[in-house]
Amino acid sequence: MDFLKAPTLFLVVLSLTIWSATSAPNRGGYWPSWAKDSFPPSRIQTAYFTHVYYAFLSPNKDTFQYNIDATTASVLTNFNTALHRKNPPVKTMLSIGGGSAGTELFTRMASSANSRASFIRSTIQVARKYGFDGADLDWEYPETQTAMNNFGLLLDEWRVAVNNEATSTGKPRLLLSAATRHEPEVIDNGVAKYPVASINKNLDWINAMCYDYHGPWTPDATGAPAALYDPNGSLSTSNGLQSWISAGIQRQKLVMGMPLYGWTWKLKNPSVNGIGAPAAGIGPGNEGAMLYSEVQQFNAQNNARVVYDTQTVSYYSYSGTSWIGYDDVNSVQRKVQYAKTLNIGGYFFWTAVGDQDWKISRLASQTWTA
């Protein structure tokens, strides 16, 4: 989920006892810690969010505990102090891992009771020490069914630990969430299915990453990175959410992800410029990635042609050989309305810093609460 630092799979990223723990649907946003100088958390307009995620912190690869230096400690403290003092205040979540953390660390951590206990204990300690309201596991992704089963065991033990900690300290129970694929399975050399029963029992919600369907890893043709519908298949947000529901997830624990960034391609032929047009690799931006605000700037500076695609419910723009797929206000509004019809738990953005003058965050919040 950390595309500004390492463009892999992302993320901008939320509860009942489980839903009763948050009293309102989730409107979440991830804050990338590497943006601390250019976009401090104090700039976040909390009127448009209920939960803000600190992205990311990862445990030691051997001890599965956190080694936090003085600089990181200061950033963690400032994050929580700033957001809890805002009006309105928001719930803060410690997001663990991210795309660049990979899967191997968490696969090993979840494979034994001792390492799971070490991770859980250290996570609770860090969350309490720095003032977080909860923790969010961003394991991208459990690749085998054994890893998925261990993920379920981790959630079982984590839930018991946070309940016991709250009882012993008298503090409000820490919230628990996890960022997941847009659908309830990972297909690699086989099919690994998420432990939906354990998720329902133990997590307050999941953040389904409903984006990155197309990007630099599909360099030969343009694509809608976060299509609501896929007219030629099943790679879409609607299919992902419906798949989670069919798998038995409690609807209020399902939170839909949306991107505040776009992916770019270089067109082979500027006159062939629709979705699926032949491409010759990535286009402008940070290894093919652009914040939504940067997309808007690019469009204005290059007099780009902007197209709303009704079939996928997404936007794209092009100028010369440069082509960008992204979401804009209309497609986001349609997605939020669709999520409301499913009666799911809310939505989140990767990342909160990508917006332009908060116009998408504002519209999404108004649409959800209308």
Segment 31-77, tens digit of pLDDT: 999 999 999 999 999 999 999 999 999 999 999 999 999 999 999 99
Options 104, 140, 185, 294, the catalytic residue: 140
- For residue 187, what pLDDT band results from cuts at 50, 70 and 90? confident
Give residue 290's pLDDT. 98
Instruction: Indicate if the pLDDT at residue 22 is higher than 70.
Output: no
Give residue 177's pLDDT. 98
Please compute the mean of the pLDDT values over residues 148-156 and round it to a whole number: 98
Q: What is the mean pLDDT of the chain?
A: 93
Q: Domain map of the chain by residue range?
A: 26-259+329-369, 265-325
Instruction: Indicate if the pLDDT at residue 220 is higher than 70.
Output: yes
Instruction: Indicate if the pLDDT at residue 207 is higher than 50.
Output: yes
Task: Give 265-325's CATH code, choosing from 3.40.630.10, 3.40.50.2300, 3.10.50.10, 3.20.20.70.
Answer: 3.10.50.10
SS (H, E, C) the chain: CCCCCCCCCCCCCCCECCECCCCCCEEEEEEEHHHCCCCCHHHCCHHHCCEEEEEEECCCCCCCCCCCCHHHHHHHHHHHHHHHHCCCCCEEEEEEECHHHCCHHHHHHCCCHHHHHHHHHHHHHHHHHHCCCEEEEECCCCCCHHHHHHHHHHHHHHHHHHHHHHHHHCCCCCEEEEEEECCCEEECCCEEECCHHHHHHHCCEEEEECCCCCCCCCCCECCCCCCCCCCCCCCCHHHHHHHHHHCCCCHHHEEEEEECEEEEEEECCCCCCCCCCEEEEECCCECCEEEHHHHHHHHHHCCCEEEEECCCCEEEEEECCEEEEECCHHHHHHHHHHHHHHCCCEEEEECHHHCCCCHHHHHHHHHHHC
Q: List residues bridging with 266 in a β-sheet.
A: 322
Range with the poorest average pLDDT among 10-14, 187-191, 257-261, 364-368: 10-14
**Residues 99-150: tens digit of each pLDDT:** 999 999 999 999 999 999 999 999 999 999 999 999 999 999 999 999 999 9
Instruction: Indicate if the pLDDT at residue 9 is higher than 80.
Output: no
Give residue 311's pLDDT. 98
**Residues 264-313: tens digit of each pLDDT:** 999 999 999 999 999 999 999 999 999 999 999 999 999 999 999 999 99
Residue 165 annotated in active site: no
Please compute the mean of the pLDDT values over residues 217-235 and round it to a whole number: 97
In this structure, are residues 41 and 52 in contact, taking their beta carbons and an 8 Å threshold? yes
Task: Give 26-259+329-369's CATH code, choosing from 2.60.40.10, 1.10.10.10, 1.10.3720.10, 3.20.20.80.
Answer: 3.20.20.80
Instruction: Indicate if the pLDDT at residue 3 is higher than 50.
Output: no
In this structure, are residues 3 and 289 in contact, taking their beta carbons and an 8 Å threshold? yes
Backbone angles phi, psi at 134, to 5 degrees: 180, 180
Rg (alpha carbons) of the chain, rounded to whole number: 20
Give residue 129's pLDDT. 98
- For residue 1, what pLDDT band results from cuts at 50, 70 and 90? low
In this structure, are residues 175 and 204 in contact, taking their beta carbons and an 8 Å threshold? yes
Please compute the mean of the pLDDT values over residues 216-229 and round it to a whole number: 98
